[in-house]
Each structure stands twice: as structure tokens, then as C-alpha cells.
Chains A and B, each alone.
Chain A
Amino acid sequence: MHSLQSRLSTGLLLSLILCFSALWLLVSINVNFLAEEYIASRIKHDTETLLSTIDFDEKDKLVIDTSRVDLVYNQPFSGHYYVINTLDQRINSRSLWDHTLDLVNTKTGDQLRGLQQGPEQQSLLVISNGYTKQGNQLSISIAEDLGPINENIIHFQYWFAAMALSMLFILVIVQALILRSSLKPLTRIQSELKSLEQGQLDKLSTDSPIELRPLINEVNHLLSVVEQRLRRSRDASSDLAHAIKKPLTVIQQLIDNNDIPEATNNMLIKQTSDIFHLTDRILKRARLAGHSHSGALFSFSEDLPALIETLDMMYASKSVKLTINVEDNISFPIDREDMLELLGNVLDNAYKWAAHKIILTVKLESKIHLFVEDDGPGADPEKINTLSMRGIRLDEKIEGHGLGLAIAADIVTDYGGNMRFSLSNKLNGFRVDIELPLPQKK
């Protein structure tokens, strides 16, 4: 069974049914017993009254003073009967009319109790007592119809069952409501987990029912363990990448010394630059991994001019003019370092290839659109198409448009966006289109 709710409801329903049935049975048995005992005690009284009305004359003939006997014993089939037996005589109450009770004689001091069918389908409780009066042994049997009281009992049982059923119903509903409200914290935890994934939270809040707290603590513990492992591996790869750069720089200086044969030298140059590019990309991937974001947000009014100034300085020897096509007061929450890395790499590539002009366009619609166009030599259209389709792998470079775009692609992928390359219609050079989903406001 998959639903906790239906599982709990079924469990509750079954146990309540069991419980109520047992209760019903117990109460019914008890009520029956009590009713019988009550009637039995009434019978006992009547038996004693009857006994006092009995007399034996001098011929040992049984005489009853009927005036002292309850009237109910005189109405035919009233449900109250008596039979008095001696060894040779038998007196039936008038109420028995022509019916005969099936009785055995009871010895003095003995009592017999039994149920039997009476006239008109009455169900009779019969109690016989044996006495000795004036030297004569006699047994008095009094029977009373259980019908009316049984009817009451059945009535009570129906009522009891109906009450139990409606209580059952109410309890199941109440339980469902309680369950639903106590599962509410889980819904909150679910939404917290979501913001956790997006890096807006770093752990679940512990403000929840005691029963859920161990679970939350475990999740938080797991998170910190995972975070620690991630940081360790991130630090390891970032340290490795940095450490590799030092000897690589030295090797590169040695290569530049020209006392190595040219073919070997060229090979070394290629190999070292490949190692360098891989290291750089790994470094940046390591930074992206696990959203180790700095927390600062990119500002179009501050960071973009600073970036462009930086690029202008770096390409001071070229006279490249960057035109920015950005709506006024555009803003969306996006990590500053990631955005600088993304724009930096894409613009750097454009500066590298542009002859004179670059256009950067930023549009904010349902998604964030970034276009960078240059008036450089562009690239082979076929190559551009295949690249757009399968993305850029770690070990490959687009002819001329190298590492930077691969790093940019990593960032775009990390943000769940996409990046396409084409030729610019406006400037006839290379064009990069980037689409990023709009980040949710924190």
C-alpha cells in the first residue's frame, strides 16, 4: 500500500471494528446476564410468596391461597407461570391454561434453572426449587417470559451498533484530518529541499514536529557530509590545477629559450598549452560544482562597465569598439562571479577576433538572452552547426574559438540554459547566443 493515509485509515478502521465488536459482544452478554439475573431474582421473590400461600390440609392435599398470588399468574399466557409439584399432585397456574411445562421434580434444597419454549413461542426462564413443607416434599417452578426484555436488549444492541458505527466514521475522519495536518511539515520540507537544490538554503530548518526532527537532522548531517566531500574534491582539483600551473609556467619559460630543436619545441608548446587549457577548465568546473557561489549578485550598472574596461585594457593595442545594447535598469539575480566569467569569456573571444566592432545585446523576456556579435572572420558554418548540436567537449576546441567558449558553455549548462553559435547577420562575424532561465528571486 503506497498511501500512508489509506494505510493508517485502514488500520484504524480494522482495529476500531474489532474493538467495537468486542465491546458490543461483551456488553450484550452482560446485559443478557443481568436481565436474566434480574428476572431470576424476581422469580425468587414470587417463589417465596407462593411458598407462603401453600398449605396442606389434614389429608396432605395441597391448597393455595390464590388471593395472595399475583394477578398476573391468572391471566392466560401472561408470560408468568407457576407449577407446584408434590409427589402425587400438580397445580398449574391459571395463566398456563392448557400448556404443560416440561419439568422434573426437585429435591428439597435444590434449585434447577433452565430455558424452554413456552406457549405462544414464548421463551421462558424456568426456575424450580425443592422444599419440604409440613412434612411434604414439594417443588415450585416459576417461569417468566424473557421475550419483552430480550426485545429491549435487541433494541439496545441496535442502538449500540449504530452509535459505534457513527463513532467509527467520525474517528476515521478525525484521524484523516490529524494526519493531513501532521504531514504538512513534510510539504514544507519538500519546498525547502527544492531551495536547497538551488543553493538558496544550506540546510533544512529544524523547526518541525519532534517525530520529523531525527529525519531532518539526518538530512542536514548528510548535507554537511556531502558538502564537505564536495568541497574536499573541489579544493583538491582546484589546488591541483593551481599547483600544475607553476611548473607549467617554468616549462613554458624554458621552451621559450630557443635552445631546443624546433620540432620538439613546437610539440612541447602544444602539449603544455593543452595541459594549461585542461587545467583551466577543470579549475572553473571545480568552482561551478556544488554552487559554491560567492553570494554577490551581478550588477549591470557596476560590473559590466568594469568588465568592459578590463577588456579594453587587455586589448589596448587593438582598436575595438564594444557597443552595449542593454535596456536601462535591467536587473536579475545572478551570481556575480559566474556572470563575469560567462561574459568575460564570450567577450574575450569576441575581442580576440573582432576587427573593429562588437555588439553585446542583453534582453530580459521569459528568459535571459545574451548575444555577442563581432566583425571578425567568423567560422565555417558547417562546423558551427555541428558544434551547436552536440556542445563542446572538454578536449576539443572550436577552430580558433577556444577554451573561453568551452568554459562559457560549462557555465551555461550549469545554469540549465543553452548556447548557440552562428554567423552574425549584422557584422558578418561570429555570433554567440546565450539563453539562461530566469533565476527565481530569493
Chain B
Amino acid sequence: MRLLLAEDDHILVETLKKNLQSAGYAVDVANNGIDAEYLGNEMIYDVAVLDLGLPQRNGIDVLKNWRSSGNHLPVIVLTARNAWHERVDGFKAGADDYLGKPFHFEELTARITALLHRSSQQPGGQLNTGGIILDEELQSVITGDGKNHKLTGIEFRLLRYLLLNAGQVLSKSRLTEHVYDFDSEKDSNVIEVYIRRLRQLLGKDQIETRRGQGYVFKDTA
């Protein structure tokens, strides 16, 4: 899952980015409103964490601009100004969730997870597709035979993206976009390696290859 973090406080960005990455997100940072709006319109993000007090263009305007241009990127608003009228105005501008500063990182990840599930029309709780259960907290997968397999960072990101988009044809470049951030070295051949590894865990037929198109995670549910 690729996440846009729009926040201008360097120290906070540093810790948040590190924590979000280890929680299984490819994170890109925008430290001002104009960059944030531009990146958000790139259509490669699954979720954005948007601080309202951004320099150059404030978060509410960024959000309004996204929504008025038809961009439905799920957005969690992050702000130190957490009066209720500001929350209501934030939601009116199109926010999907709201988190007041300061916050616990667990709360942020819980909200991001819930928002991702909601936006891909998944029921609450754990991701469960055809008996394959993804534990997003422990970053492990429980296969049909009840066995629990630990996943590496990229495996986890890849499997989560596949599960959240089960039944859809996903190209290699799309998978790359949603698994890596800008700073990572991208090699779409590496995706094949990870798909092979996932097939070993989940069974060969779970992930279909569509030649010239990409991969489909079979939605057997």
C-alpha cells in the first residue's frame, strides 16, 4: 500500500515515515501543500495522511481541490487544531477520517487500516479472502491449512495489495507503484520473484498470471 504523508514537521515526518514503513506502507512525503496536492493527483496512492497546517497551501484547500477535481483518494486528516467545528469543516471538505495531534501511532495505523478496508469495500476486522487471512498487525499470513507464515516487508505489502484488490487484473507496474516509494530502487522483475514466493506459500492457483496484462488474485469468496 502506498501512502502519501503530507506533514511539514521534520522530526515527526522522520519517525512517522520509519514507523509507517515498518507497518508495511510505501511512504512518500510532501512537506508543503502544493507538493501534496500535486502528488495526491498522481493516482498512485492508496491513502493520504494530510496535516491541515501545511505551509504554502493549507490542508483544507488541498483536500477541497482534490475532491473538486474528482480525486477520491482516501484521506486521514491530521491536525493540532482539533476543535469540533474544525473537524466538521474537515469532513465537509471531504476527509474520510480525522486524527487530532498528538496521537498514538497504533491509532493512526488502526485508522489507516480501517480506512483502506472501507475504501475497498472489505468488512471490518482481518482481511480474509478464500480462507487466506492476513494479520496486518503481525504482518503474517494464515493459509487454508491453518499454518501461520511470517512475511517479509515487501511480501506483506504485495499480498495486502493483492488481497485488497482481489479479482482485479493488476499490472506489474501498478504493483510496483503501490509497493515501493519514490526512493526505492524499482525493478519490475523483482515483482515476479515475490509473486513466486507468495505462490509457494498460498498455492500455485491462488495468483493467476494473465499474459501481457498482469496478475489476478482469485476472489473465491
Contact = CB atoms under 8 A, between A and B. Distances in A.
B84 A256 contact: no
Contact of A309 (B15, B19, B91, B101): B91
A303 B87 CA distance: 12
B101 A245 contact: yes
Interface of A: 242, 245-246, 248-254, 256-257, 272, 276, 280, 284, 287, 294, 303, 306-307, 309-310, 313-314, 316-317, 336-337, 340-341, 343-345
Contacts of A246: 9, 12, 80, 101
B165 to A, nearest CB: 21
Residue among B15, B19, B118 with the most chain A CB within 10 A? Answer: B15
B96 A253 contact: no
Contacts of B19: 253, 256-257
A256 B87 contact: no
Contacts of B101: 245-246, 248-249
B114 interface: yes
A164 B102 CA distance: 84
Given A242-B80, A249-B9, A287-B83, 10 more contacts: A245-B101, A246-B80, A250-B15, A253-B15, A253-B16, A257-B19, A310-B91, A310-B98, A316-B118, A341-B83
Given A306-B91, A307-B88, A316-B118, A284 B83 contact: yes
Interface in B119-154: 124
B92 A314 contact: no
B210 interface: no
Interface of B: 9, 11-12, 15-16, 19, 80-85, 87-88, 90-92, 95-98, 101-106, 114, 118, 124
Contacts of A248: 101-102
B97 A250 contact: no
26 contacts: A242-B80, A245-B80, A246-B12, A246-B101, A249-B101, A249-B103, A250-B9, A252-B103, A252-B104, A253-B15, A254-B15, A256-B105, A303-B88, A306-B88, A306-B92, A307-B88, A310-B84, A310-B87, A310-B88, A313-B91, A313-B97, A316-B118, A340-B83, A341-B85, A344-B87, A345-B84
Given A316-B114, A317-B114, A340-B88, A252 B83 contact: no
Residue among A256, A280, A287, A294 with the most chain B CB within 10 A? Answer: A256
Contacts of B105: 252-253, 256
Nearest to A272: B102
A250 B80 contact: no
B91 A256 contact: no
